[in-house]
């Protein structure tokens, strides 16, 4: 699936719920399904440090596509990073860098988009883009 198709399906999943609790329940589920980072990478080098919860993110390039793994000590944070992983994992660095991110507004997680929010979506997103940028340059 293309990034756009995955985004649309996530938006559709989230739109089934009017209630924020159901949306968070879904995020929590997603947190539990996160492709977990290998223990060797669970260290400060791969840490996206924030005030509230810790997130580790690793990426590798296989056959021209980027694959992400991650972990967090907070399950909602883990759900958010897995949401992004679902969208970007298995895509080319070029496609990742070119992705339209407006789907984030549509799934009602806007409060996580604040640049000042510790460990917000934005810092995770930025780290993923940095990986894509780095892989693009070595290809």
Partner 1 sequence: MDINEIRKQFPVLDQQVYGKPLVYLDNAATTQKPLCVIERERDYYLHENCNIHRGVHYLSQMATEAYENARKTVARFINAPESHEIVFTRGTTESLNLLATSLGYLLSPKKVLVTAMEHHSNLVPWQQMVQRHGGELLVVPMDDNGVLDLQAYEELLKRGPQIVAMAHVSNTLATINPVKEMIKLAHHYGALAVVDGAQSMAHLPIDVQDLDCDFFVFSGHKMYAPMGIGGLYGKTEWLEKMPPYQFGGEMVDTVSFEKTTFNKLPFKFEAGTPNVGAALGLETAIKFIENFDRQEVAQHEDTLVAATMEGLSKIEGMRFIGQAPERSGLVSFIIDGIHPYDLGTIIDKMGVAVRTGHHCAEPVMTRFGIPGTVRASFAVYNSLEEVNILVHAVNRAANMLR
CB of 42 to partner 1, least distance (A): 15
Q: How far is the CB of 28 from partner 1 (least distance, A)?
A: 6
Contact criterion met (CB below 8 Å) for 132 and 97: yes
What letter would DSSP give residue 63?
A: T
- The Cα 117–Cα 68 span in angstroms is 23
Select 42 or 136, whichever has its Cβ closest to partner 1.
Answer: 42
State the DSSP code for 139. -
Question: Of the residues 21, 40, 44, 51, which is catalytic?
Answer: 51
Q: Are 58 and 101 in contact (CB under 8 A)?
A: no
Q: Is 4 or 32 the residue whose CB approaches partner 1 more closely?
A: 32
Q: What residue ranges bind partner 1 (CB under 8 A)? A: 20-21, 24-25, 28, 51-54, 73-77, 118-119
CB 83 within 8 A of CB 32: no
Q: Note if 51 is an active site residue.
A: yes
- Least distance from C-beta 51 to partner 1, angstroms? 6
Residues catalogued as catalytic: 51
């Amino acid at each position: 699936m293309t990034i756009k198709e995955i985004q649309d399906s996530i938006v559709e999943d989230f739109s089934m719920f009017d209630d924020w609790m159901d949306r968070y329940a879904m995020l929590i589920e997603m947190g539990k399904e996160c492709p977990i980072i290998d223990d060797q990478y669970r260290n400060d080098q791969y840490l996206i440090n924030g005030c509230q919860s810790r997130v580790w993110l690793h990426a590798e390039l296989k056959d021209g596509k980027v694959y992400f793994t991650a972990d967090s000590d907070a399950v909602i944070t883990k759900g958010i990073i897995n949401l992004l992983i679902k969208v970007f994992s298995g895509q080319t660095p070029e496609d990742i860098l070119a992705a339209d991110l407006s789907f984030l507004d549509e799934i009602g997680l806007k409060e996580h988009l604040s640049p000042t929010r510790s460990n917000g979506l934005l810092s995770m997103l930025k780290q993923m883009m940095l990986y894509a940028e780095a892989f693009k340059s070595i290809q």
